[in-house]
Amino acid sequence: MRIRKALVAIVWIIALTPHAIAKPRIVTSIYPLRSIVEAIGGDRVTVTSLVPRGADPHNFELTPSSAIALEKADLIFLIGGGFDTWSIGLQKADDARSIQLYQSFTDSLIPLGNGFNPHIWLDPLMAEQIAKVVALKLEQVSPSDSTTFRSRLRNFVARIDSLNHWVSRTLTEAKIDEFVSLHPAWSYFARRYGLKEVATIEISDEHEPSARHVAEVIRMLRRMKKPCIIAEEFSNPGLAESVASMTNAKIVMLDPLGGSHLGERSSYVGLIRYNVEKLREACSN
């Protein structure tokens, strides 16, 4: 009798104890998107990014662990439009879990080749819009956490607004007017803050630039008062170094991707501040 009463008591304790609700599993293609999702979702979600530090997100090949993460994901945030659609091959074409973020910016995308420039996240105000899309989608998969997501979104927007003013003021004071890019990663950033991207050395990811094109870029750099070439930390700087040697241009290595173990670059705001400081130091003197 006592054993039966004990078993009944245990059953009631289990029944009345709140069960841990599984956190929504979110996958992003690149780390900056993960950083934005974490800023909105906080500890209410689990976030994984597919492209590891040092890999080129344009041509990444999925690993078995990445494929498993995609299969189990509740939401998948991509830039889309060909940039990171190597992930879509494992999904159905109409998979509602996949959010291609470029579709929120159809009126403001910068043409590139036969498509568009995918580096939208490097414009802080476009990142703010990405965060609003993220918050909406998170609410759909976890309605009980809507209040938390909305509160964190307001905080993120406030930080972005502060960042936007700081970047604008810093670049104006540094008197940075124009630059040449190795790869067109910073076109949206330049447009936002009134910088002139005079030329891009690498026009396509698939083809090496022609000798004629490189010669034209060199002529442009020679006409600049403060010639500056922006390259990315994961890129091969050989071509930029060759062009710089013929033009006395400064090369500044920026980081468009950040990472979870890179101090200030582990947050979106910190990543942008890091790059602005690098740009000011290299191109304003």
Residue at which a domain ends, from 136, 162, 188? 162
Selection from 44-53, 54-63, 147-156, 220-229 with the highest mean pLDDT: 147-156
Whole-angstrom Cα distance, residue 233 to residue 157? 28
- Decide if 70 contacts 90 (C-beta within 8 A): yes
**Same structural domain for residues 139 and 206?**
no
- Give residue-wise pLDDT tens across range 54-99: 788 877 888 888 888 888 999 999 998 888 877 665 455 557 889 9
Structure tokens at 239: 């071509």
Q: What is the number of structural domains in the chain?
A: 2
Domain co-membership, 36 together with 147: yes
Q: Are residues 97 and 119 in the same domain?
A: yes
Q: Are residues 248 and 149 in the same domain?
A: no
Number of H helices, E strands in the chain: 9, 10
Query: 84-93, 196-205, 245-254: which range is least confident on average?
Result: 84-93
Q: Are residues 40 and 155 in the same domain?
A: yes
Stretch 132-153: mean pLDDT:
97
50 class by beta-carbon count within 10 Å (0-12 exposed, 13-18 middle, 19+ buried): buried
pTM greater than 0.85: yes
Listed residues 131, 162, 193: the one ending a domain: 162
Contact (CB, 8 A) for 28 and 70? no
Q: What does the pLDDT read at residue 205?
A: 65
Mean pLDDT across the chain: 87
pLDDT at position 214 is 92
| pLDDT score recorded for residue 284 | 66
Domain contains 240:
yes
Predicted local distance difference test score (pLDDT) of residue 84: 84
- Tell me the mean pLDDT in the region 235-244: 86
Q: Which helix (H) or strand (E) holds 115?
A: strand 115-116
pLDDT exceeds 60 at position 209? yes
Q: How confident is the model at residue 24 (pLDDT cuts 50, 70, 90)?
A: very high
* 166/69: higher pLDDT: 166
Q: Specify the higher pLDDT residue, 60 or 217.
A: 217
Cα separation, 49 vs 30, in Å, equals: 6
Both 103 and 68 in one domain: the answer is yes
The answer to whether residues 53 and 152 belong to one domain is yes
Q: Which of 106, 134, 162 corresponds to the end of one domain? A: 162
DSSP H or E segment with residue 253: strand 250-254
Backbone angles phi, psi at 202, to 5 degrees: -95, 110
Same domain, 157 and 29: yes
Pick from 30, 61, 63: nearest CA to 255: 30
Tally of CA atoms within 13 A in the half-sphere of 245 that contains its CB: 6
The dihedrals phi and psi of 197, each to the nearest 5 degrees, come to -85, 95
Please indicate, yes or no, whether residues 112 and 208 belong to a single structural domain of this protein. no
Whether 251 contacts 241, CB under 8 Å: yes
Does residue 169 form part of some domain? no
18: in domain: no
Task: Verify that 140 and 259 share a domain, yes or no.
Answer: no
Confidence band for 281, pLDDT divided at 50, 70 and 90? confident
Structure tokens at 62: 């999925």
For residues 214-224, give the mean pLDDT. Answer: 93
Domain hosting 265: range is 175-283
10 part of a folded domain: no
Q: Can you tell me the distance from the alpha carbon of 99 to that of 80, in angstroms, rounded to the nearest whole number?
A: 8
Taking the C-alpha atoms of residue 261 and residue 181, their distance in angstroms, rounded to an integer, is: 27
β 115-116/111-112 pair status:
antiparallel
